Structure 1
Amino acid sequence: MDLLGLADFVLVARHGGFGKAARATGRPKATLSRRVTDLEANLGMRLVERGARMLMLTEEGRALQERAGALLTELDETTTAIAAGGDKPRGRLRVSAPLLFSQTAIGKLAASFALKYPEVRVEVTTEDRVVDMVEEGYDLVIRVNPDPDNTLVGRVFLRDRLVVVAPARLEFPKNDATVPVIVRGPPGAMDAWTITTAAGAASINVKPILGLSSLLNVRDAVRMGVGAARLPISLVSDDIASGKLLKWGDVQASEIGLWALYPSRRLLSARVSAFLAHLKAAFPNGTSDELSAYIDG
């Protein structure tokens, strides 16, 4: 078996084409194509269907990529660990994290991790879009309530929930009154907000009057007395406790789960394993209270 050819085939399959794989690795496209062609000849089977604009794996190609990809990843991680002198975390760690978590917690997390593991070069990118881990070269991504993805595995490390809060000057609406609210995004027309209060379910008629791109900005606007808003409890628990803001109720079906995700494989790199342990140590129970304390600590 030609391991170099097999590795190049897995590389091309993961990136979805010869051109993408070549751009991602700096390897010549012609070399990758030749290696895959030679592998097909050695195996006596077609692994890819080459189209004008895209590449498709055959049934045999998909089976080989699934089996060989995991084995090659383990081999690569094992040789890297041996060459590095064992399981000591080192090298570059690329992380993608959502905006709010980055604004409130990732700076402290990354800094404390860097102090603990000085041989790891941490690089965090902040964005709310769903990144392609393989295509864009990330080691770990943090996502909020991610859709199922059979190419990734991971765990929930934090849970939060949304609540409706208002400045002390703003009374809870009565007799179907309309409430001015601040929202994330454009302040267009919006349906009534349904919340759960101590007295039961309630519906609030709302009129968005201010739209902001950051939930931190939304919180600041509520503090200024502009109107009510739906915000994570971790972001406003101290304001509620001090009386700066009033909690009107919990937004129904609004549980927020923060997941740490990584490519599916049996053997994680030492640096990813260390970062996952770092998250667990920072939030041992994964509660919104822990996040609030971490933000304000």
Structure 2
Amino acid sequence: MDLLALADFNLVARHGGFGKAARAAGRPKATLSRRVSELEASLELRLFERGARVLRLTQEGRALFERTATLLTELDETAKAIASGGHSPRGRLRISAPLLFSQTAMGKLAAGFVRKYPEVQLEITTEDRAVDMIEDAYDLVIRVNPEPDESLVGRVFLHDRMVVVASPDLPRPADQETVPAIIRGPMVQGDVWEITTADGQSRLMVRPVLSLSSFIMIRDAVRTGLGAARLPLSLASSDLAVGALVSWGDVEGFETALWALYPTRRLLSTRVSAFLEYLKATFPKGTPDELARFID
């Protein structure tokens, strides 16, 4: 197989078209089209469906792209590392991270990583949706309690848990009593919060008074005394420490784990390995207190 033609195929697949690929690489569009056609002829496979305005990978083309894109990148990295006489991380590193972690910690974390590895071009995208790492060209994704996926491996680098918090001015209800609540999600009447305290377990009947889409907005609203809320301990720790908020107890069944994930078939690049080690060094114990101190 012609590796140069394969590289051109990957370039076109990654950019989603011959024109975009040609502009990105500074190469003639006709050359890329010819080399992809030669690759299709040598493989006796159609790799792209060519429409008037749309270029789409065929099933065979997608399979070839998924199996070769990373290998070509690793070959390029290996050649550059050998040529430079070292193995210092370099090149682009694309990471997808969830909203709350991005808002509270990712900016500081990313800046520290780039300061340590200045030859890495780090790109962070914030999104809570499940992404296709190959399709979206991510090297690493960070997710909260991800669903099992045989195509991904990784490690937990942080743990957190949910607590019910409120302003000190809001009277704490007795067991089975109703509490005004600031919630994340639909305003469903009749919900129940089961919490654990030093004295045992209790149940709070919830009366939603406000729904917000962000935990940071919920924290700010809780500070006003409008209602109680469930928040990650790491996000509430600073307010709990100074008495701006009080904890009513831990929420049953709401422990969370942050995972750093990457494809199983991918040989770890030096960039991904370095970022994983940086996470481990930043959060050696992986506790909510460590995260709270980091974002404080």
> Normalising TM by the smaller chain, what interval?
0.7 to 0.9
Q: Is 2:166 aligned against 1:166?
A: yes
Deviation at 1:282, TM superposition (A): 0.5
Partner residue in 2 for 1:126: 126
For the Cα contact (< 8 Å) 1:163–1:230, is it kept in 2?
yes
Decide whether aligned partners of structure 1 residues 33 and 144 sit closer, same or farther in structure 2, where only a CA change above 3 A counts: farther
Deviation at 1:229, TM superposition (A): 0.3
Deviation at 1:159, TM superposition (A): 1.3
Between 69-78 and 160-169, the greater mean CA deviation after superposition: 69-78
Q: Distance in 1 between matches of 2:182 and 2:29?
A: 51
Deviations, residues 95-138 of structure 1 (Å, cap 9, x unaligned): 33222212221222122223222333433333334444444444
Q: Secondary structure at the match of 2:58?
A: strand
Decide whether aligned partners of structure 1 residues 252 and 278 sit closer, same or farther in structure 2, where only a CA change above 3 A counts: same
Q: Secondary structure at the match of 2:280?
A: helix
The equivalences for 1:1-297 within 5 A come to 1-10=1-10, 18=17, 22=21, 25=24, 32=32, 34-43=34-43, 45-46=44-45, 48=47, 50=49, 54-58=56-60, 64=64, 67-174=67-174, 176-185=176-185, 188-198=187-197, 199-296=199-296
Deviation at 1:154, TM superposition (A): 2.6
Q: Distance in 2 between matches of 1:263 and 1:73?
A: 14
Decide whether aligned partners of structure 1 residues 24 and 93 sit closer, same or farther in structure 2, where only a CA change above 3 A counts: farther
Q: Secondary structure at the match of 1:89?
A: coil
Q: Distance in 2 between matches of 1:192 and 1:142?
A: 30
Deviations, residues 60-85 of structure 1 (Å, cap 9, x unaligned): x6765565445434312212322444
Decide whether aligned partners of structure 1 residues 19 and 132 sit closer, same or farther in structure 2, where only a CA change above 3 A counts: farther
Decide whether aligned partners of structure 1 residues 265 and 182 sit closer, same or farther in structure 2, where only a CA change above 3 A counts: same
For the Cα contact (< 8 Å) 2:11–2:21, is it kept in 1?
no
**Could you list the runs of 5+ residues in structure 1 that have no partner in the other structure?**
none
For the Cα contact (< 8 Å) 2:196–2:251, is it kept in 1?
no
The AA in structure 2 aligned to 1:46 is: L
For the Cα contact (< 8 Å) 2:66–2:134, is it kept in 1?
no
For the Cα contact (< 8 Å) 1:184–1:215, is it kept in 2?
yes
Q: Distance in 2 between matches of 1:110 and 1:140?
A: 13
Decide whether aligned partners of structure 1 residues 73 and 249 sit closer, same or farther in structure 2, where only a CA change above 3 A counts: same
Q: Secondary structure at the match of 1:249?
A: strand
Decide whether aligned partners of structure 1 residues 147 and 42 sit closer, same or farther in structure 2, where only a CA change above 3 A counts: same
The AA in structure 1 aligned to 2:116 is: K
Decide whether aligned partners of structure 1 residues 197 and 69 sit closer, same or farther in structure 2, where only a CA change above 3 A counts: same
For the Cα contact (< 8 Å) 1:194–1:201, is it kept in 2?
no
Decide whether aligned partners of structure 1 residues 24 and 81 sit closer, same or farther in structure 2, where only a CA change above 3 A counts: farther
Count of aligned pairs = 291
Decide whether aligned partners of structure 1 residues 83 and 21 sit closer, same or farther in structure 2, where only a CA change above 3 A counts: farther
For the Cα contact (< 8 Å) 1:195–1:249, is it kept in 2?
no
Decide whether aligned partners of structure 1 residues 206 and 154 sit closer, same or farther in structure 2, where only a CA change above 3 A counts: same
Q: Distance in 2 between matches of 1:31 and 1:190?
A: 63
Output the TM-score relative to the length of structure 2.
0.80
Q: Distance in 1 between matches of 2:24 and 2:152?
A: 21
Decide whether aligned partners of structure 1 residues 242 and 19 sit closer, same or farther in structure 2, where only a CA change above 3 A counts: same
**Could you list the runs of 5+ residues in structure 2 that have no partner in the other structure?**
none
The AA in structure 2 aligned to 1:269 is: S
Q: Secondary structure at the match of 2:106?
A: helix
Q: Secondary structure at the match of 1:235?
A: helix
